[in-house]
Amino acid sequence: MSPARNPAGRWLLLAAVLALLGGCVLQATWGYTHDDLSGHAEGSDDAFISFRYARNLVAGHGLVFNPGERVEGYTNLLYVLLLALPASLAGRAHLLAVSIAFNVLCLVAALLGLYAFSRERLGDFRAGMGALALGLCPSLWIAAASGLETPLVLALQVGLWMAVEGASEDRKPPVRRLIVLTALLGLARADGFIAPLVAALYLLLRGRRPAALAVAATALATLAALVAWRLSYYGWPLPNTYYAKVAGSLVDRLEIALPQFSRAVFSTGMLASVTALLLGILRMARQVSTEGRRPVFSLLSFPVFFAPAWVGYWMYVGGDVFYERFLLILFPLGIFVLLDLMRTTPRPGVSLVVALVIALQLLQLRTDPRYRYTRERYDRWVLLGRHLAASHPGATLATDAAGKIPYFSGLPTLDMLGLTDSRIAHGEPAQQPSLVIGHAKFDVDYVFSRRPKLITTWVQSDLDMKWGLERSRWKKEGYRLRFLVNSEPLPKEPNLLDVSGRTEEELWTLISAGYGYGVLERQRETPAAVPARDGAGTAGHSVISPAQVPPVDPADPPDPGHPADPPDPGHPADPPDPADPPPPGR
């Protein structure tokens, strides 16, 4: 018998959708996507790596970061392909807005999926309350504003959950839907096969062998096809990002992941969902002990089976620098389990509990710097990328921020942290006080051997820079500190300074005042970049080969006191993108 219908559920659903839309617009317009505020005011820096791949694809260069260099520096093939058409139509500056709009649609789809699933099992009212709790989850707003593929993955995970539950119940299994969702998840993320394999195990334990085999076979076939394609195109079976990020022992990774998980649970409002999932596990354990005649696996529910498996995988890889990004599925899972636990609770009680959940989720608006809403947002890497496009067209660049600076400058780029550089990614982790996932591998000798014209990274008051770029070394290699960039959350006047000729005392004062991001410029000419050493590049491809760079945005005019360098003859720049607006003033 279906739960009774209640018209209040539809009004709650409408309120949930409006809350989700409003929150996403608020976050994208006035909020941030990481607590490094001025680096993530306009989307996540990592998103622009995918944007650059999409633009290079439609420009005819292939799925590459630098034309002529085949390295898989992305983990979201489906997302990159979906952005390719907008990338061909929109200007460089507008692709983030397109991705945010798409992300919002994915989140709305996930919310509607949760509502429909809950409505069938718990009734309109509880389904509406669950949708409202999900819509008022600020972590989802950040996911939309980031420009990353997270909302797409969440929508597909929610869809897989619905299909698996349908297949595990006494009805005709929706095998086609399971197959399609499994394949899409495998394409959406490099690790997208994990969730379907967990789902296949769940279906097998529930006695749905044909559905389980269909899911497992599709997941493995999709993975095999991707591996074969990677080997033929990039020369490696896994994405370059895997080799760059998964470093250190399991103990090292767990030491990183456990504090990150604690932060995600206690600082993002996830505590309510995690608590509900734990209560769901306890309820299942109690049912096993009191209903001994029933098969144990018949008491399994997908949320309480999937959540521990997913968190375990997240811990295994060392968590994520973006905190709750890959844990968002715990919100809808936990919300549903919470409402399921309150099947017999009167509506006033349900309303009170959901109100407390929402209040807990919204509490982070006061405590998390990512919700420090302001109209005076400023993104240092967008500014720097546009400036370098004008001041150093065609120059070669090495950077520790491989998203916005290369994207807006259009310069051929060496990623010093290895996400888009196979030599660094396949090297050993550098010696550091502690392991940081995604920032564990760098090679200062290799960077200098490539002789980039520009190097951008963080600078200290003693003029030593991050990633082993000590002052004595970069001076010896023929570099000078050319620009300092405001790294504080709010804009200054100016935000970017040409510091050529400044005294050390003046530089120290500027760095102490918040100009913490620097640009080194190579002064004297030296021999060209050395070829990759054995094992450094992909099969049949050098690490960086001379090639044309993507179109350069019109940007700030070069400083008249420092005329722009002539383009590197090995890397001529394409004409500016006419669809791009001029950058804001410094």
Give the pLDDT score at 579: 46
How many other CB atoms are there within 10 angstroms of residue 365's CB atom?
17
Q: Is the pLDDT of residue 512 over 80?
A: yes
- How far is it, in rounded angstroms, from Cα 196 to Cα 174? 14
> What percentage of the chain's residues is helix, strand, coil (to nearest 5)?
55, 5, 40
Three-class SS state of 275: helix
Among 456, 413, 419, 459, residue whose Cα is nearest residue 568: 413
Residue 532 has pLDDT above 50, yes or no: no
Q: Are 178 and 211 in contact (CB under 8 A)?
A: yes
Instruction: Name 551's Cβ contacts closer than 8 Å, sequence gap at least 6.
Output: 59, 92, 410, 573, 574, 575, 576, 577
For the cut 90, the answer to whether the pLDDT of residue 416 exceeds it is yes
Query: Once rounded to an integer, what is the mean pLDDT over residues 133-144?
Result: 98
Which pairs with CB-CB distance under 8 Å and at least 24 residues apart come from 346-351? 347/125, 350/125, 350/126, 350/129, 351/129
pLDDT tens by residue, 264-299? 999 999 999 999 999 999 988 887 777 655 566 667
| C-alpha torsion angle, residues 380, 383, 385, 387 (rounded to 10) | -130
* pLDDT, position 335: 98
Distance CA 417, CA 111 (A): 36
* pLDDT score at 212: 95
Nearest to 107 by CA among 305, 314, 268, 329: 329
pLDDT of 528 above 60: no
Of 354, 337, 322, 329, give the one whose Cα is nearest residue 136. 354
Would you say residue 108 has pLDDT above 50? yes
pLDDT of residue 222 exceeding 50, the answer is yes
Q: For the chain, what is the mean pLDDT?
A: 87
DSSP 108: H
CA-based nearest residue to 222, from 189, 174, 175, 271:
189
> What is the helix (H) or strand (E) element at residue 342, kind and residue range?
none
- The answer for residues whose C-beta is within 8 angstroms of residue 98's C-beta and 6 or more apart is 83, 86, 90
- Count other Cβ atoms within 10 Å, centred on residue 318: 24
Q: Which two tokens stand for residue 482?
A: 């050319």
Q: Compute CA distances 421 → 116, 307, 388, 435, whole Å.
A: 44, 34, 21, 19
pLDDT the model gives residue 424: 92
Residues in the chain, total: 586
pLDDT for 430 beyond 90: no
pTM for this entry: 0.87
Count of Cβ atoms closer than 10 Å to residue 286 Cβ: 11
Within its chain, how far is the Cα of 171 from the centroid? 37
Q: Which pLDDT value is given to residue 563? A: 43
| CA–CA dist 76, 69 (Å, integer) | 19
Q: Which residue has the higher pLDDT, 7 or 196?
A: 196
Rg of the chain (C-alpha set): 25
State whether the Cα torsion 71-74-77-79 is positive or negative. negative
538-577 pLDDT per residue, tens: 333 333 333 333 333 333 334 433 444 444 444 444 445 5
**pLDDT of 434:** 55
